Amino acid sequence: MDKKKRKLGFYLAVIIIAVVPLLFLFIFVKLDHPDIRVDSLLPIYGEKKPIEVAESRNGKIKIDTIYHTIPRFQLVNQLGDTITNKNLSGYVTIVDFFYTSCPSICIDMTKNLHAIQERFSEKDKDKVRILSISVDPGVDNPQKLLEYAYENDVNSKMWNLLTGDKVSIYDLARKGFMVTATEGDGGENDFIHSEKLMIIDREKRIRGYYDGTSAQSTDALINDVQKLLAGYIREYGS
């Protein structure tokens, strides 16, 4: 009898451990925050264009909005694999612009990105990605990026270090991710050096800018990523 009770107690404990976190998430998302929507959780940055859309059921016209999204790009990561804008689809992505020989802000940025990697590498490893794009691609070839990845404990399944054509990268930084207001042509004398980390949502829209050298700002980024993930669960179930 005691053996049956112990076995029953064990199964109950397993059920409680499995169900309680899901119940908490349900209460947080469904009850405490019934109005959660991905589009309303965080700002959406960039140009917005209103458009008229006819609703299929009644033919009425409503005003919808087209938001700025990250444009097409094609870069190469530390493993020599091609990464494009399509790789952003379906993930919440944290992005920064860096270079491996940076003696200043990139050190703190990489440290804080590693903290982000560790925070999401278990439970949400299939929902979150990190992209670090080199602003010194002439030096930062895939081999150099691979060495940097090894030195900084980069999980290559989750975190891509990217290189490619400088003109394309600088155009992407300015017009796609909008990390700087300075003008430039991506030429020999052009240089971008920014401490910003960005959140890009599953629809490739910019949802936030953060100081990548600040642990406090990084914590805020992590909290905002969690909000987006909860919002996707609320709207789409995953």
CATH at 186: 3.40.30.10
Nearest to 162 by CA among 191, 140, 194: 140
CA triplet 138, 94, 236: central angle to 5 degrees?
140
The answer to whether residue 125 sits within a structural domain is yes
Size of the chain, expressed as the number of residues it contains = 238
In a domain, 212, yes or no: yes
DSSP state of 217: H
Q: Are residues 111 and 212 in the same domain?
A: yes
Q: How many CA atoms lie within 13 A of 123 on its CB side?
A: 9
Buried b (16+ CB within 10 A) or exposed e, 78-104: beeeebebebbeebbbbbbbbbbeeee
- pLDDT tens-digit readout, 63-102: 668 899 999 999 999 999 999 999 999 999 999 999 999 9
* Residue 214 and residue 145 share a domain: yes
- Do 109 and 13 share a domain, yes or no? no
The answer on 187 and 77 residing in a single domain is: yes
| Mean pLDDT estimate for the chain | 88
Interatomic CA distance for residues 125 and 63, integer angstroms: 36
Determine the pLDDT at residue 158.
Answer: 98
What's 68's DSSP letter? P
Contacts of 191 (CB under 8 A, 6+ apart): 135, 184
Per-residue model confidence as pLDDT tens digits over 15-68:
555 444 444 444 444 444 445 689 999 999 999 887 656 566 666 766 668 899
Domain housing 25: 2-34
The structure's pTM equals: 0.81
Does one domain contain both 29 and 86? Answer: no
- Is residue 215 over pLDDT 60? yes
Predicted pLDDT at 213: 98
Q: b/e map of 150-183 (b: 16 or more CB within 10 Å)?
A: eebebeeebbbbbbbebebbbbbbbebbbbeeee
pLDDT of residue 61: 67
Other beta carbons within 10 angstroms of residue 141's beta carbon come to 15
Q: What is the pLDDT of residues 103-112, one digit of tens each?
A: 999 999 999 9
- Is residue 83 included in any domain, yes or no? yes
Indicate whether 140 belongs to any domain.
yes
Q: What angle do CA 217, 221, 222 make, to 5 degrees?
A: 120
Domains held by the chain: number: 2
In the chain, count of helices (H) and strands (E)?
Answer: 6, 9
